Chains A and B, each alone.
Chain A
């Protein structure tokens, strides 16, 4: 159906709380990615999933960050014990298949996280 969706669109939380961000990829897309975009900066890769393979977690900034994906559908990004430095827009993207050079990634609208 429609494009990549993410929820919530905005999240304000207090320092030290845990948050969960959700991503619904485009149906049929086997690859799913999470990125972080801090204010005025470029996109920072966090993690990607490809089918049933082990995810590439090389971009996760600390062990407070984790992500899961159920099969080839929904993914959740969890940030534990949030810090003010975690404030950013978290973007999810999906594509037909990873490892295919030139395969286009389709981005969701993002979740704006503000940690007070």
Chain B
């Protein structure tokens, strides 16, 4: 079945550092790929998505590119802020729209 593997956290970075959170997937067909974010005390919300190979999703300075050849969707941000501290989930949807999530990566940004 479908699966998503993302790097384990927690990841601790200083403010303005470069962020990469790795995500790879296994799926049949051509899934859509997502990054969701869960800020402390809040619900899960969509950060960005890509629906086909080579698409780049971007939002709030975050980017991720759908790489079919490496089955990856790594999340990057050039300069993180304290307000980016959250748990980030990589996810995919296959043909039936059921979302398969990774286990989440906690990011802590220190001033």
Expressed in whole angstroms, the minimum distance between the Cβ of B91 and any Cβ of chain A is 8
A107 interface residue, CB < 8 Å from B? yes
How far apart sit A63 and B110, CA to CA, in the bound complex (Å)?
Answer: 45
Q: Which residues of A contact B46 (CB under 8 A)?
A: 104-106
A: which residues have CB within 8 A of B?
31, 33, 35, 41-43, 45, 48, 50, 56, 59, 91, 93, 95, 98-110
Q: B41's closest neighbor in chain A, by CB?
A: A109
Within 8 A of A (CB), among B6-24: none
Interface residue count for B (Cβ, 8 Å)?
25
Contact A103 B97 (CB under 8 A): yes
Q: State the Cβ distance, B97 to closest chain A Cβ, in Å.
A: 4
| B32 and A101 form a contact (CB under 8 A) | yes
Q: List 29 A-B contacts (CB under 8 A).
A: A33-B98, A35-B99, A35-B101, A42-B89, A42-B101, A42-B102, A43-B44, A43-B89, A45-B99, A50-B97, A56-B96, A59-B98, A91-B43, A91-B44, A93-B99, A99-B96, A99-B97, A101-B31, A101-B32, A101-B94, A102-B32, A102-B49, A103-B97, A105-B99, A106-B46, A107-B43, A107-B45, A108-B43, A110-B43
